[in-house]
Amino acid sequence: MMDHNHYRFAVMADPHDPDDELRAHREACPECRAFTDQLLRFESRLERALRVDILPKADVLPFARKAAAAAPRSRRWMTMAASVVLALLVAGGVWLTLPQRSLAADVVAHMAGEPDAWRRTEVPVPEPDVDAVLQGSKLRLKSGAGMVSYASSCDFRGHKVPHLVVQTPSGPVTVMVLVHEPVNKSTRFDEQGYRGTIVPVPGHGSIAVLMRDAESGSADVERIAARVDDSIVWTR
């Protein structure tokens, strides 16, 4: 039988990875459950504290500059010519398809910077912490959305946006509420191992919902996006 000290030591070392024995102790012991709740509230603060805004001054990778500088002169001319052709194509109308593609690409790129988001866990983020993350975007979640295992206010395209992870039977699902990104229609995407959809929310921008490829089918993503949309209560 596990004692309180053993439980609390283990959960303080890794609050998000309780094994069956730890879970059983937590369920059976109100004092340790209260301790865990308090610890998880602090853990949420810790996760946000570590995610400092530290965008690089130079947005170019050092080898990207070097590779460009090292290219032979002829290749550089060809590259310039190709750039002009590309620019003409863009001016010719191809640009119409770009904004939504780039929004999806930005959402996917954001995922790589959030490793914790994909953790399978049964430990929910305390409700006040979820509410704090959502408050800035003037919304709250009804209980039907599912268990929220990750909640963070992230920098995205110059705005703070809520980034939530909801645990579902199909695996963790990431939801980004993009109140500053209105879109005209739903867009599905399948990029770099992520499958998702960006759906318009009239008057409130859009919502991006995505899963990792191995864990998802298109139907899963669409269904979850609809459920999330239904679970949102806008407070303005």
Partner 1 sequence: MNDGVGGNQRRARFQALCQSLRPDLLRFAFWLSRDRALAEDVVQESMLRAWKAQDALLDENAAKPWLLTIIRREYARTFERKRLPTVDVDELIAKEEPMLAAAEEQNIGEVRAALMKLPDEYREPLVLQVLMGFSTAEIARELDLSGPAVLTRLHRARRLLRAACGEDTRLDPQE
Interface residues with partner 1 (CB under 8 A) are 4-10, 12-14, 17, 31, 34-35, 38-39, 42-43, 45-58, 61-64, 66-67, 109, 112-113, 115-116, 118-119, 132, 136, 153, 160, 192
- State how beta strands 159-168 and 147-156 pair: antiparallel
Least distance in angstroms from the C-beta of 200 to partner 1: 26
Decide if 149 contacts 127 (C-beta within 8 A): no
- Give the CA angle between residues 103, 118, 110 to the nearest 5°: 25
**Which lies closer to partner 1 via its Cβ, residue 56 or residue 144?**
56
**Which lies closer to partner 1 via its Cβ, residue 111 or residue 145?**
111
Least distance in angstroms from the C-beta of 50 to partner 1: 4
> CA 181, CA 195: separation in Å to the nearest integer?
19
- State how beta strands 139-141 and 147-156 pair: unpaired
Least distance in angstroms from the C-beta of 187 to partner 1: 20
**Which lies closer to partner 1 via its Cβ, residue 31 or residue 122?**
31
Least distance in angstroms from the C-beta of 185 to partner 1: 27
> CA 139, CA 234: separation in Å to the nearest integer?
4
> CA 114, CA 150: separation in Å to the nearest integer?
10
Least distance in angstroms from the C-beta of 152 to partner 1: 11
Length of the chain: 236
**Which lies closer to partner 1 via its Cβ, residue 6 or residue 76?**
6
Half-sphere exposure for 121 (CA within 13 Å, toward CB)? 18
**Which lies closer to partner 1 via its Cβ, residue 63 or residue 184?**
63
